[in-house]
Chains A and B, each alone.
Chain A
């Protein structure tokens, strides 16, 4: 089966600044790819290249089997896009917004109206359908924006930070809507700063930083890249942090801290090694508030990878 998105060696420069320096990515049809990276990493630029909003300086990009440079108009017929902020017209009602998008996809007047009603229903906006979207809450606006992106039932959907700025409840809502679309067969590429979101939604994750893809894999693959379990301790007293760090360093691994009194070190020996470390800490008289053995999270992956590359 043709990959829904296939990008090779994408380069985009703004003057002397290279926003993207040779990014490769592939999204097999029917799967979800999360583009993960800090602010300014190049996520939005990449989405704009994939959705024909900007032309790359170098590289090859195919979306839904069509080359973005050779036939951008055809690509636009096959994709849905929702940008970083909700691109809805605040003076139009929810219905008018969707009806307009339908007409601009050339669905025809009747079909555009039907589709608008349908989507308002699916996205639980029927009650607000005839109110200007200016009066909507952030979550409602975001839902309307997503509805706008799928008016023409595009096979490939691009969402740039779909849940940024949403409250936790609206975020759960959005995730549920996205899962529904994926179940129906939509290929989804989304960018996010939230590791939890990538972990939950994506089949595959590409970590991007300084315009380069620095890692790719499933959440589990990425986690195993940064090693096994971690022992995390919270030291009771500030003046004992250095002593605790020295003990943990005996494992031979780098000890990381979160700037407060919480220290983390990768271990290979599981609980046995944790007990050993606790004994050593106790021998040195270090008092602990909290201790735990945990699997690496995507946060560890992210910090390890982006920390190493900067």
Chain B
């Protein structure tokens, strides 16, 4: 490169820069995000053990719950409701929620290894790393959902609703997990250590997914847990899933809003989470720097 090249390049850059509309910057967030997403997916390809773990756990849960607890919990369900119909949406919810924690662990890992510093010194969109991370984790969750669906069908679960409703159910699970990814992103960037993040997220997520209608009907829980479960968005997600996957209704005793309108209540949570955590995580990313 000659000296003249060098001195004229910045001037050209500046003109290009001025021509960049907000729309173009927005498209950079997506395009740069896809570059980062591809990088995350390549990592899964190179270290497939991680994905195998992610896939085997839900299969194990489905089989264990179906056959170990199925008899006793199933007996307490209203007549005519098979435990598989009750259980599978619950496992879907728990699994995609745990899938969302990958976002935080992945970002904490990138922080620790200094890759975030490299990304932050590049002229890429500030949102790209987060868009990329949440996108690749969404795709992982799609794969996991397919595996769970097949496993579910093998243990006797049936989709009895219309195709549109069933697709809406799958979309709702994935959308909820996607929103959660943005919370995980914020926490992961804050904690900076993948090990610490994983321990913390397990301690928080495990009870939240259990104190809900996930594996057993929550109306038999002790009162404080029952109230928690009633307003827990995991409960509404699971109930929405049961409603959308099946044309038989599982009667709900509660008259509270989440119980009556599980789909709307879940979507409300998705909206609130995204409105708060997309800007918050983006800001945290701009500040975050490895020590």
Chain A residues engaging chain B, CB cutoff 8 angstroms: 48, 51-54, 64-65, 73-74, 76-79, 81, 83-92, 96, 100-101, 103-106, 132, 148, 153, 155, 184-185
Contact = CB atoms under 8 A, between A and B. Distances in A.
Given A64-B10, A104-B32, A185-B1, A74 B17 contact: yes
A42 B28 CA distance: 34
Given A74-B14, A83-B114, A92 B120 contact: no
B17 A77 contact: yes
Contacts of A91: 42-43, 46-47
B6 interface: yes
Contacts of A74: 13-14, 17
A76 B17 contact: no
A100 B42 CA distance: 12
21 contacts: A52-B121, A53-B121, A53-B289, A76-B123, A77-B13, A78-B10, A78-B13, A81-B121, A83-B290, A86-B114, A87-B114, A91-B42, A92-B43, A101-B122, A104-B128, A105-B122, A105-B123, A155-B6, A155-B10, A185-B3, A185-B6
B47 A104 contact: no
Contacts of A64: 10
Interface residues of B, number: 31
A115 to B, nearest CB: 12
B121 A153 contact: no
Contacts of A132: 46
B119 interface: yes
A92 B10 contact: no
Nearest to A77: B123
Interface of A is mostly: loop
A57 B146 CA distance: 51
A65 B10 contact: yes
A92 B13 contact: no
Contact of B115 (A54, A73, A81, A87): A87
A76 B118 contact: no
Interface in B78-134: 113-115, 117-124, 128
What are the 8 closest A-B residue pairs judged by CB atoms, nearest first? A87-B118, A81-B121, A76-B123, A77-B123, A91-B43, A87-B114, A104-B124, A91-B46
Contacts of A101: 118, 122
Contacts of B14: 74
Given A92-B42, A104-B32, A76 B122 contact: yes
B171 interface: no
Given A73-B123, A76-B122, A101-B122, 10 more contacts: A53-B121, A65-B10, A74-B14, A77-B13, A81-B118, A83-B114, A87-B117, A100-B38, A103-B32, A105-B124
B261 interface: no
A105 B54 CA distance: 33
A217 B118 CA distance: 30
Contacts, number: 85
Interface string B227-242: 0000000000000000
Contacts of A100: 35, 38-39
Contacts of B118: 81, 83, 87, 101, 148
A83 B117 contact: yes
A89 B13 contact: no
A184 B39 CA distance: 32
Contacts of B47: 91
A184 B1 CA distance: 7
Contact of B114 (A51, A85, A153): A85
Contacts of B28: 106
A91 B114 CA distance: 14
A76 B121 contact: yes
Residue among B1, B28, B39, B113 with the highest chain A CB neighbour number at 10 A: B39
A81 to B, nearest CB: 4
Contacts of A103: 32, 35
A74 B9 CA distance: 13
B119 A89 contact: no
A95 B219 CA distance: 57
Contacts of B114: 83-87
A196 B115 CA distance: 29
Contacts of A153: 1
A53 B117 contact: yes
A78 B6 CA distance: 11
